[in-house]
Amino acid sequence: MSGSGLEGVVVARTRLSQIDGEAGRLAYGGYSIEDLAEHATFEEVAHLLWHGELPGRAELDALRAQLADASALDDRVLALIRSAPAGARPMAILRTAVSALGMLDPDAEDTADGANLRKVVRLTAQLPVITAAIARTRDGRDPVAPRPDAGIATNFLRMLGADPDPDRARVVDVALILHAEHGMNASTFSARVTIATLADLYSAVTSAIGTLKGPLHGGANQRVMHMLEEIGEPENAEAWVHDALDRNEKIMGFGHRVYRTLDPRAPILRDLAHGLGGEDNSRWLRISDRVVEVMDAEMQKRGKKIYPNVDFFSASVYRTLGIPVDLFTNVFACARVVGWTAHAMEQLADNRLIRPRAEYVGPAQRTVEPIDQRP
Ligand code: COA
């Protein structure tokens, strides 16, 4: 068991998403990810995950109004963001700010259904606002307030000072949909473990943000961009990948605990990246495609089922949209907060403390020697 990473262990029953790792399929509440990416918005997906059904027009309008109402940035949270030292990681600031939101919310400990729904809306509204405020305040600029009549994707680009053209906002929207939920991934597991102790939703999301931060999980998308920058030109890709593999390094944006084939989110993101056009973008895509070819050949030779994952193409999409590279993992959090909170509510609806066991492999029983007689 030691070192197994709980691979294949079922720790919960969920109605939220279904992953077929062999066939490369993902569905939220029975709707394929391809269908949702084409026909839904992020807010509709949030409703689906929180309530089990896609919203009707009136329900969607109500949710959008609630999200708008919950999106004002508290001055105390802004002061905390501004107090971050130069060079602080945006995910560390986000984790700290979300923890502060919990301390400041008088409803934080209220676990009634209505209070929890208010808090999941609040968390989902706040993460993009905080992320954009991190980007602006570190450059000495003031935060931009979200527009109440615009959706999360459009507002996110506006608040960053990036181009909020509807086509680009739709790309953000689809990226958010694709990252919203993914079964019992590491950060969702953290959220469920935390909420299962009957701690509050803010604590669950703070735990999840800390877990998402790691390069083996959400941190991979930033590393993909650094890799593409380091490779520089498509013709350098082959040597770069071989060198990295020779050093036994993992290639970021490849491999997945569950998918043994192409992650179904990757081709959707690649198409989005294509649609964005632009010279730099096309260079990132040519490098990416070359990395995929080289990895394909190399992994086949080694008999390993390692394919691109969601982070591989999201990197060039975010970069082309003008999102700073060190904010990429925050964007992932802005989407996944919907999945975390949906799982937290699902856990609470049928809760039992999550408390597995460890197999003891240390020394046999011994007695304490007085300190001066110890070696
Ligand atoms: N590049 C090169 N080789 C890889 C690889 C990658 N990205 N991912 C896995 N492998 C290799 C491993 O070295 C291992 O080889 P071995 O059997 O010879 O030791 C084999 O494939 C199985 O990998 P393993 O590390 O056991 O898989 P895991 O299920 O524990 O890890 C990830 C899954 C995602 C953590 C892992 O693939 C990874 O680190 N990927 C890069 C980070 C990333 O993109 N994360 C985002 C995930 S959405």
For 190-223, the pLDDT digits (tens) are 999 999 999 999 999 999 999 999 999 999 999 9
pTM for the full model? 0.95
Band of residue 2 on the pLDDT scale cut at 50, 70, 90: low
Whole-angstrom distance, CA of residue 130 vs CA of residue 98: 9
Question: For residue 146, is pLDDT > 70?
Answer: yes
For 154-166, write each residue's pLDDT tens digit.
999 999 999 999 9
Whole-angstrom distance, CA of residue 296 vs CA of residue 304: 9
Does ligand 1 come within 6 angstroms of the Cβ of 255?
A: yes
For 290-310, write each residue's pLDDT tens digit.
999 999 999 999 999 999 999
Contact 67, 205 (CB under 8 A): no
Other Cβ atoms less than 10 A from the Cβ of 149: the count is 10
Atom index in ligand 1 nearest the CA of residue 255 equals: 37
Atom index in ligand 1 nearest the CA of residue 304 equals: 21
Question: Of these residues, 47, 179, 311, 343, which one is catalytic?
Answer: 311
Whole-angstrom distance, CA of residue 129 vs CA of residue 217: 23
Q: β-strands 25-28, 31-32: how paired?
A: antiparallel
- Which string of b and e fits 350-362 if b means at least 16 CB within 10 Å? eeeeeeeeeeeee
Question: For residue 1, is pLDDT > 70?
Answer: no
Does ligand 1 come within 6 angstroms of the Cβ of 174?
A: no
Indicate the length of the chain as a whole number: 375
Whole-angstrom distance, CA of residue 363 vs CA of residue 145: 58
The number of angstroms, rounded, from the C-alpha of 241 to the middle of its chain's C-alpha atoms is 26
Contact 286, 294 (CB under 8 A): no
Q: Give percent of the chain above pLDDT 90.
A: 94
Q: Is 10 exposed, middle or buried (0-12, 13-18, 19+ CB in 10 A)?
A: exposed
Does ligand 1 come within 6 angstroms of the Cβ of 315?
A: no
Whole-angstrom distance, CA of residue 290 vs CA of residue 234: 6
Whole-angstrom distance, CA of residue 231 vs CA of residue 274: 20
DSSP letters of 263-323?
A: -THHHHHHHHHHHH--HHHHHHHHHHHHHHHHHHHHHHHTT----B-HHHHHHHHHHHTT-
**What is the predicted pLDDT for the residue at 278?**
87
For 11-41, write each residue's pLDDT tens digit.
999 999 999 999 999 999 999 999 999 999 9
Q: What sign does the CA torsion over 86, 280, 311, 334 have?
A: positive
Does ligand 1 come within 6 angstroms of the Cβ of 224?
A: no
- Based on the residue annotation, tell me whether 256 is a catalytic residue of this protein: yes
Which protein residue's CA is at the shortest distance from atom 31 of ligand 1?
257
Query: Which residue(s) pair with 27 in the sheet?
Result: 18, 32
Whole-angstrom distance, CA of residue 177 vs CA of residue 183: 14
Q: For residue 176, what are the contacts with CB-CB under 8 A and spacing of at least 6?
A: 42, 45, 152, 153, 331, 334, 335
Q: State the amino acid at position 15 in one-letter form.
A: R
